[in-house]
Amino acid sequence: MINNKKSNILLLFLIISITLAGCTSNKSSKELTLVKQEQLILGTFGSISAYSNSEKEGNEAISKAYDRIKEIENLMSTSIEGSDVYNMNKKAGVESIAVNPSTMEVLLEGLEYSSITKEAFNIGLGSLIELWGIGKDWQKVPTSEEIADAKKHIDLNKLEVSKENNTAFIKDPKILVDLGGIAKGYAVDESIRILKENGIKSGVVNLGGDVYALGTKTDGSKWRIGINNPEIGSSNSIARISISDKSVVTSGDYERYFIENGVRYHHIIDPKTGIPANNGLVSVTIVSDKSIDGDVLSTASFILGLDEGLKLIESRPGVEGLLITKDRQVYVSSGLKDAVEILDNNFKIVN
């Protein structure tokens, strides 16, 4: 929802909800305390809830999880001066730089996924992402010449990484690395790791739509995660998915966009065309063990479209998906059918 007109409203809403619910606690029937903290982080809305033995213990665990997310932001943001990604981009074509092992882990995953998705997912797409500037002050529809020029600078063969030395070098000075489609998922996984290390067995992390549900609710039942209605102006859940110890990540065309001459342009760019993917899908949700996989595969499947996207999802062990088309048809991968419940009858499971 980061178009110009709506961003202030969103910010106001977030600030209000943080003021009201920034830190809450409730006793559950098993005398565990539910603690919740909300924060603006990674340029999005973060919410972490955890059941704990005490409010103090819960708040400490959640604060440590947020510290780790902040650390990841400081390493992997394109805009924070001195971050690993900022430094890589700044030294593109000049020299190799040392990166933190966490950044290396995400770079390597990103490169592997680029090859798995035949570069539908491409961590070297920064030149195109900057050109479109979705959500930024300079957002506009670029000319076809500008797009053609930026497309010349997305070749991942020019990105050299050394796992042994923890160094990275972009050999083409015009290639920019952007981890916006993968690092949020990594941050969810890391925050879950920190919560577990601090004694939390049950809770939910949500970083701007990348969700992980840890354990079960205190009555032993699964968590139920709502899938947003992807239509602009709607705020209901069209379905819910029951899960435990799983990640649920959604990518859609309805959250970050701008409108020019009556056409809506969103933030998921097809590297083949250099323009926002437009293949009839409006939202892809991935259920997986790790959120980093869900983050990448939701974005990649969105770009690949219904048939190729479903094929990709079915080909990945332990990965399930739910894809929604413009005409409100819902496609669910084979292993997910029993876990999905449709809540809005305008949407129908068709496969």
Q: What residues line the site for Mg ion (CB under 5 A)? A: 251, 295, 298-299
Map residue 260 onto helix, strand or coil.
Answer: strand
Pick between residue 45 and residue 51 the one whose CB is nearest to ligand FAD: 45
In 3D space, the residue among 60, 323, 327, 102 whose CA is nearest the CA of residue 197 turns out to be 60
Cα gap 314→125, rounded to integer Å: 26
Contacted entry of ligand FAD, Mg ion, none for residue 159, CB cut-off 5 to 8 Å set by kind: none
Measured CA distances, 225 to 83, 205, 239, 287, 340 (Å) = 33, 11, 8, 11, 10
Q: Report the length, in residues, of the chain.
A: 351
Helix or strand holding residue 57 (H, E) = helix 55-76
In 3D space, the residue among 43, 44, 37 whose CA is nearest the CA of residue 66 turns out to be 37
DSSP 272-324: TTTEE--SSEEEEEEEESSHHHHHHHHHHHHHH-HHHHHHHHHHSTT-EEEEE
> Minimum distance between the CB of residue 29 and ligand FAD, rounded to whole angstroms?
34
> Minimum distance between the CB of residue 206 and Mg ion, rounded to whole angstroms?
13
Contacted entry of Mg ion, ligand FAD, none for residue 52, CB cut-off 5 to 8 Å set by kind: none
Contacted entry of ligand FAD, Mg ion, none for residue 178, CB cut-off 5 to 8 Å set by kind: ligand FAD
Contacted entry of ligand FAD, Mg ion, none for residue 231, CB cut-off 5 to 8 Å set by kind: none
Contacted entry of Mg ion, ligand FAD, none for residue 125, CB cut-off 5 to 8 Å set by kind: ligand FAD
Pick between residue 52 and residue 102 the one whose CB is nearest to ligand FAD: 102
Pick between residue 131 and residue 182 the one whose CB is nearest to Mg ion: 182
**Cβ neighbours of residue 299 under 8 Å, at least 6 residues apart?**
121, 181, 251, 268, 284
Pick between residue 35 and residue 76 the one whose CB is nearest to ligand FAD: 76
Strands 329-332 and 348-349: parallel
> Minimum distance between the CB of residue 113 and Mg ion, rounded to whole angstroms?
12
> Minimum distance between the CB of residue 161 and ligand FAD, rounded to whole angstroms?
16
Pick between residue 139 and residue 247 the one whose CB is nearest to Mg ion: 247
Point out which residues bind ligand FAD (CB under 6 A): 42-44, 73, 76-77, 79, 121-123, 125, 129, 135, 178-181, 183-184, 208-210, 251, 255-256, 267-269, 271, 295, 298-299, 303
Contacted entry of Mg ion, ligand FAD, none for residue 301, CB cut-off 5 to 8 Å set by kind: none
**Cβ neighbours of residue 88 under 8 Å, at least 6 residues apart?**
97, 99, 168, 169, 170, 177
Pick between residue 34 and residue 284 the one whose CB is nearest to Mg ion: 284
